[in-house]
Structure 1
Amino acid sequence: MITHRLRPLTLALAATSLLALAHGSACAQSPYPSRPIKLIVPYAAGGTVDVFARIVTPGLEAKLKQAVVVDNVPGAGGTLGVNKGVKSAPDGYTIVMGIVSDVVLAPLTESTVTYSHKDLDAIAPLGTSGLAMVAKPSLGINSFASLISYAKAHPGKLSYGATGAGSLPALAMESLKQRAKVDIEFIPYASASKIALDLMGGHLDIALSGLPALLEPIKSGKMTPVGVMSKERDLGAPELGAAGETAELAGMDFYFWTGLFAPKGTPPDIIAKLNQAFSDVLADEKVRTKFKDYGVKISPPMTPVQFTAFVAKSHSDWSAVVKQSGLKVK
């Protein structure tokens, strides 16, 4: 009798369980993406990488049919943001806009950085952009030659700011100091925006940062351009001299590359979908024009496998540069 009374309840519970399983299965099979995506930018709002992210975000949203929310995580030369990305769930709902400094260089030069480029899945490259040097206007330094001359006449009196000891700007400046045999004090900063404020406020002599973020203050006269740290002049400001044009700095060639990454272990089909969406956005002429205005040379489309190989080669190349520079791991 008791068994018969429980049978309807048992059947009802079984039916409910089957419906729940069916619903769970349907959710698991929902096409990616089915909810908003977080795009980590390892730098403060208004900086070069943040500007890049906000240029591509509307296009990504249109291609993926989901909101793409920029999450600024500044600090420690970009490594805090990348580390957050590395530790995120590899489900495609957290991606990172990384650059050579935080993805490749920091792990080579900072003992506190616990990740490597291998802890990220490479999605697609964005492009390359210039690394520029600027000075406070009152110094009267407006070229690499005048910088070297001033530094030699005032040893140890100049200071320069860059994001993190292991960043590309810091490595480039330390290389310049070695080549030109000058003594300029290094002051590490957490963000490029704070560097710019201190330079414009007269609290810092020299600054190195991504050229795109410096174009406006250069045009307004708040900063004096010294030049770009590459062997050739930059697409975004061809009027600026290149380090390679100065005899003491011949052979110098420092520039940024930027790309999109995901936590290691993100499913290949999701990586492929993000790669296609990002590549499509960068193919749009309006987007390309915006990047050209910032001096960004858009990279040719690459598959995730090709971009992974590119990042691995960058790691190998910079390992050799860091070793040659004698820069100590801190």
Structure 2
Amino acid sequence: MQKPAFAPALSLLIALAVPASQAMAQAAPYPQRPITLVVGYPAGGSTDLVARTLALDLAARLGQPVVVENAGGAGGSIGAQKVASATPDGYTLLVGANNEMAINGLVRKSVKYSLKNFTPIGLLGSQPLVLTTTPTSGIKSTADFLRSAKSRPGQMTYGSSGVGTALHVAGEMVKQQGGVFLTHIPYRGTGPLTTDLIGGNLDLGVFVMSSALPLIRSGKLVALGTTESKRSAVLPNVPALSETPALKNVDIGVWFVLVGPSGMPAPVVARLKTALTETLAAQDYRKTMEASGSVVPTGQPDLDKYLVSETEKYRKIVEFANIKDE
């Protein structure tokens, strides 16, 4: 049977239509479907709070749902590796913090990713850590703490949320700067750390501000000092540790960043950066973040350089304290 005369022309049109439809799909403005924000910790922590606050505002600005996925384990490394290995299309992003972005590679042999495996998008905020004790400890100030620590070297204990965490590194910075010997007690998260500290099984505890704030305000813990160079706006009567001459160089906090896999298309990165700039300026976002003790940036650093410099800062402390988490 002879084919219709228009058959070759029809076949040509179909052949041309397929690549044309693909090109249209590729040219469709980002995003076209829901975006996942991966958090390398269980729900309820400081990084999770930042991610959920960010997700609400980003969703409104991008016109697509933004879903938080908790992939906890290995100090945030499991979640970070998930994003580092993801397709770089802008639909899988990481809300990361110090641990997984700067510290874990220094202390964990199991970490297979590095900064080069990520596309930096922006700094979301930061908050200080706080050195705490209990009302019954007899320690009322930083001076009391240093005097007690020097009088019984190695006998005072401080707890953190785990080996190689930002809380642990901050404690080691205090030891290094203050010239004191404290015994570190690692915990699997701030829950058991809080229980033991309030129960009198520890002398001191290092917390992220957002975790410590309710306990300080309720009188269950006493804040001796915050770890950034300036006092925290949510605890203005608590001195920065650096106000004590022996601890003048203590300056460390927890920061949060938004990154994606390496190799993301430039237009996608630009769209995300624009949406993030708008979010950081939004009153609802700033109010929620600041209420938890965070400082929201008014401008953006060169995030590549920022992450490199922060990693080098932690490297010095990790080497000083010989921190390893096999």
TM-score w.r.t. structure 2 length?
0.86
User: Residues 53 and 328 (structure 1 numbering): CA distance in 2 closer, same or farther, change over 3 Å?
Assistant: closer
CA deviations on 1:240-265 (whole Å, 9 max, x unpaired) are 12211223322211122221111111
Distance across 1 between alignment mates of 2:289 and 2:118: 25
Residue 68 of structure 1 and its aligned partner are, at CA, apart by 0.8
Matching residue within 309, 312, 319 for 1:313: 309
Residue 282 of structure 1 and its aligned partner are, at CA, apart by 0.7
Aligned ranges for residues 221-300 of structure 1 at < 5 Å?
221-300=219-298
User: Residues 67 and 112 (structure 1 numbering): CA distance in 2 closer, same or farther, change over 3 Å?
Assistant: same
Distance across 1 between alignment mates of 2:89 and 2:199: 44
Q: Residue type matched to 2:119 in 1?
A: D
Cross-structure match for 1:143:
141
Q: Residue type matched to 1:309 in 2?
A: K
CA contact (8 A) 2:172 2:321 kept: no
CA RMSD of the aligned region, Å? 3.0
TM-score w.r.t. structure 1 length?
0.85
Distance across 2 between alignment mates of 1:321 and 1:178: 8
Residue 61 of structure 1 and its aligned partner are, at CA, apart by 0.4
User: Residues 157 and 32 (structure 1 numbering): CA distance in 2 closer, same or farther, change over 3 Å?
Assistant: same
Unaligned runs of 5+ in 2: none
User: The residue matched to 1:139 in structure 2 has which SS?
Assistant: coil
Aligned ranges for residues 69-108 of structure 1 at < 5 Å?
69-108=67-106
User: Residues 18 and 188 (structure 1 numbering): CA distance in 2 closer, same or farther, change over 3 Å?
Assistant: farther
Runs (4+) of structure 1 exceeding 6 A deviation are 5-19
Cross-structure match for 1:121:
119
The number of residues matched between the two structures is 325
Residue 107 of structure 1 and its aligned partner are, at CA, apart by 1.4
More off after superposition, 294-303 vs 223-232 = 294-303
Distance across 2 between alignment mates of 1:139 and 1:192: 20
Cross-structure match for 2:189:
191
Matching residue within 28, 48, 51 for 1:50: 48
Q: Residue type matched to 1:219 in 2?
A: R
Residue 326 of structure 1 and its aligned partner are, at CA, apart by 4.8
More off after superposition, 189-198 vs 31-40 = 189-198
CA contact (8 A) 2:172 2:317 kept: no
Unaligned runs of 5+ in 1: none
More off after superposition, 257-266 vs 309-318 = 309-318
Aligned ranges for residues 128-207 of structure 1 at < 5 Å?
128-207=126-205
CA deviations on 1:201-226 (whole Å, 9 max, x unpaired) are 55544221211222112111222222
Residue 329 of structure 1 and its aligned partner are, at CA, apart by 4.5
User: The residue matched to 2:159 in structure 1 has which SS?
Assistant: strand
Cross-structure match for 1:327:
322
User: The residue matched to 1:297 in structure 2 has which SS?
Assistant: coil
